[in-house]
Amino acid sequence: MLSAAVAVVPAAAVPAPSPALGVPVAYAPGDVTDRADQVRDEQWQLDKLNAKAAWRTSTGRGVVVAVIDSGVDGSHPDLVGQVLPGLDLVSPSGATEPDPVGHGTTVAGLIAGRNDDRQGVVGLAPDARILPVRVLDEENRYDDALIVAQGVRWAVDNGAQVINLSLGGSGDSAALAAAIDYAFARDVVVVACTGNLATSPDAKVWYPAREPGVIAVSGLERNSDNLWSGAITGRATILTAPASGLVGARPPSGYWRVQGTSFAAPLVAATAALIRARYPQLSAGDVVNRLLVTAKDIGPTGRDDRFGYGLVDPVAALTVDVPLVHDNPLDDNDSPGVTGFGPAPGSVPVNDPGAEQLGLTGPQQETQWRARAAGAQDDTATERLWVGSAILVALLTGAALMVRRFRQSHR
């Protein structure tokens, strides 16, 4: 029963081993960058993606990117003025901190960190705006896929033109699939990470990255075209982007070193924002197609299972002449779920005749869709060990009692 639960984790950084307690999961101990100017100098991904050349054509101005994550701290110096009023689905009455974990703030900074000085983190689309939707709690986890699905739909209804999902897991969700279809129907580009090997039960590309129509992003090692050693990849992989040796914004005003496909996905989301600002008349399908056909082919010639179409190329995506296709080339146009879903499981009576129509009576794997921070202890493994030990003890005790009774009956 325990193994039936679907583990879902945000693809956060894998921390260096440390005896310290209470260290944030995306923090490498002793590896903090104290000076904001040093942070700017270490943002190698901007050189890799030729950001300065891309900014001569577009900076993402006027485009709204939804970050569905652990929240976003809009008071961070690199994000002041960049973050729109958002939604907190974890603490609707208001949390003490806008982003208790820091994961979402890092993602937001990689997308739209300010570029008005030489200090701190600058995003790849520095004039885009961030729409934060909090679905992960103080432990960077959430157990309900419908919460994420509701976050996607809310983001669409509140002006998102690009959605970034730096989270996922091994199990599918009909409700989340339906929400993503809702986004496609309303001309929104959806980007998700492929996942991290360190926090996955298998090497399968995570969901929702493998949902048809979603741009599934895997990651590269620092300053190379080699796949990052911790990245999950496979047939569903669409694009790659830098994923290791990155420096990100850390609430409330600091920085930390991070790695993971969580931080590759926002670089693709930012590129989509650049395109949408440069070509506001393009459909979401044409934005996706432009990203695919202009990617830098790395690895085997053509699309492959490791790098997908290749490394995202912002400059080419903004400048190459690409014929219109109108439709999303990744979407199979198959509607897998119900778009009209309501509150989360538990808030509707089990015998409510309308619950099934709203998609609230899904399989146990969906309603137990579990989110955990990458690099954290796998609690389910510990639980399985204790359950197994208890069963073994019970079996041995029962056998001993049977032997004892057998001997007594033959005296």
Of 73, 137, 262, 331, which is the active-site residue? 262
CA angle 262-50-272, nearest 5°?
50
Dihedral angle over CA of 332, 338, 340, 343, nearest 10? -120
* Cis upstream peptide for 300 (omega within 30°): no
Which pLDDT value is given to residue 156?
A: 98
3-state secondary structure of 157: helix
- Residues 250 and 256: their CA atoms lie apart, in Å, by 6
Which pLDDT value is given to residue 246?
A: 95
DSSP single-letter state for residue 308 = B
75 is catalytic: no
Which pLDDT value is given to residue 333?
A: 80
Which pLDDT value is given to residue 117?
A: 86
Of 76, 103, 172, 181, which is the active-site residue? 103
Q: Is the dihedral of CA 118, 123, 125, 130 positive or negative?
A: negative
Helices 265-278 + 284-293 axis angle, to 10: 120
Which pLDDT value is given to residue 113?
A: 97
Which pLDDT value is given to residue 376?
A: 27
- Residues 24 and 10: their CA atoms lie apart, in Å, by 14
Residue matched to tokens 């998609």: 359
Structure tokens at 321: 């002449």
Residues near 377 by beta carbon (within 8 Å), at least 6 away in sequence: none
Residues near 76 by beta carbon (within 8 Å), at least 6 away in sequence: 105, 109, 249, 250, 251, 252, 253
Structure tokens at 199: 């926090």
Side-by-side strand order, sheet with 239-242: 87-88, 129-134, 64-69, 162-165, 189-193, 215-220, 239-242
Residues forming a β-bridge with 130: 65, 83
Of 69, 78, 313, 331, which is the active-site residue? 69
Which pLDDT value is given to residue 36?
A: 72
Which pLDDT value is given to residue 102?
A: 94
262 is catalytic: yes
Which pLDDT value is given to residue 409?
A: 59
Closest CA to 101 of 78, 151, 67, 147: 67
- Residue-wise pLDDT for 38-97, tens only, equals 888 899 999 999 999 999 999 999 999 999 999 999 999 999 999 999 999 998 877 688
pLDDT in tens, the chain (411 residues): 222 223 344 554 433 222 222 222 332 323 555 577 788 889 999 999 999 999 999 999 999 999 999 999 999 999 999 999 999 999 887 768 899 999 999 999 999 999 998 889 999 999 999 999 999 887 776 667 889 999 999 999 999 999 999 998 888 889 999 999 999 999 999 999 999 998 777 789 999 999 999 999 999 999 999 999 999 999 999 999 999 999 999 999 999 999 999 999 999 999 999 999 999 999 999 999 999 999 999 999 999 999 999 999 999 999 999 999 999 999 988 765 443 333 333 333 333 333 222 222 233 334 344 443 332 222 333 343 444 445 555 666 666 666 566 666 555
Query: The whole model's pTM is what?
Result: 0.78
